[in-house]
Structure 1
Amino acid sequence: MKIKFRNILILTLIFALFAALLTNPKKDNYVSWMKEKASAESSNSIEKGLVALLGGPLIKESTQSKNYVLFSVYETSFGEEKIKILGIYNNFIPIGKSTKLDITEKKQGA
């Protein structure tokens, strides 16, 4: 009984890894997804028009991607803000958001 359960577990793991390999999203998929999200969050038709016109090239230019074969990590910088997204199984999952500190600020008392 143990051998049967172990074989099923191994086959399931192999299937999950193979599926992840086949469904690792490309950068173009990420750019389309991010553009769709930005358009959905736009508050007026002018913003939506700008996103539709310029969103793709701007997102593509400001995004770095790392392909780990089974998944990819995308990091997009918008000025001082960075957004990190995990791409796996043709889905995108936000995993981090950071804002850079302004290092030119003076300390009080200095």
Structure 2
Amino acid sequence: MLNLRLLKEVGDLCFDVDLITSKFSEIDIYAAVVQSQIANSSLKLYIKNIMKMILQSRLGKSTLLFITIASAMLFTNPKKDTYVDYAAKRLTTEIQTSICRTPKLTQGLFWEEVSKITSNSCKSGLATGLTFQSSSIKEFIANSTEQQNFFVFSAYTTKVSQYNFKTIGVFGNFLTFQK
């Protein structure tokens, strides 16, 4: 009688069990299973040795490092929505900085305090107004921005009035250049 475990292993190899039992003896089937297990373990050992050689070589380490960095860049490449949020915050800060400059008043402690209060009032008032308009600002930036996705990083060009802002998004961060 054929060993049921042996038949299951052979059956797992996509053979018809009835066909096998009628054509081959138990010894033939067992020999075939053993040969496939030896071949399988030899293949695993061969692959393991190749991976070990690759990791031990300089080229292999460099390749592995390159693949790791490229994978990290791929998964941290910022999306356009993230860029729009970043650009809206940056634009809001730029507006506040350019409009709410501290006035240069006559020297003296009193006038320095008046300058700080004026500047802070301007910034808080603008911040309140800009907060109410944040969805409009984001929509404007989204419509004014062109994204080029290079998979490991993205390049964004935002056209505002006569300015072109070039931004690179990589590793979840942005670096902006003004043209």
Do these two structures clear the TM 0.5 threshold for a shared fold by scoring above it?
A: yes
Deviation at residue 97 of structure 1 after TM alignment: 1.9
Give the match for residue 83 of structure 1: 165
Give the one of 22, 29, 50 matched to 2:82: 29
Compared CA separation, residues 50 and 67, structure 1 to 2 (3 A): farther
In the aligned structure 1, how far is the partner of 2:84 from the partner of 2:66? 30
Give the match for residue 70 of structure 1: 152
Give the match for residue 7 of structure 1: 60
Largest Rg, 1 or 2: 2
Deviation at residue 46 of structure 1 after TM alignment: 4.2
The SS at the match of 2:57 is helix
Deviation at residue 6 of structure 1 after TM alignment: 2.3
Deviation at residue 50 of structure 1 after TM alignment: 4.3
- How many residues get paired? 95
In the aligned structure 2, how far is the partner of 1:46 from the partner of 1:59? 22
**Conservation of the 8 A alpha-carbon contact between 1:84 and 1:97:** yes
The SS at the match of 1:85 is strand
Over the residues paired in the alignment, what is the CA RMSD in angstroms? Answer: 1.6
- The residue type equivalent to 1:19 in the other structure is A
Give the match for residue 127 of structure 2: 48
The SS at the match of 2:175 is strand
- Give yes or no for the alignment of 1:18 onto 2:71: yes
TM-score computed with the length of structure 2 as normaliser: 0.49
Compared CA separation, residues 46 and 78, structure 1 to 2 (3 A): farther
Deviation at residue 36 of structure 1 after TM alignment: 1.4
Q: Structure 1: where are the runs of 5+ without partners? A: 99-110
Structure with the bigger percentage of helix:
2
Structure with the bigger percentage of strand:
1
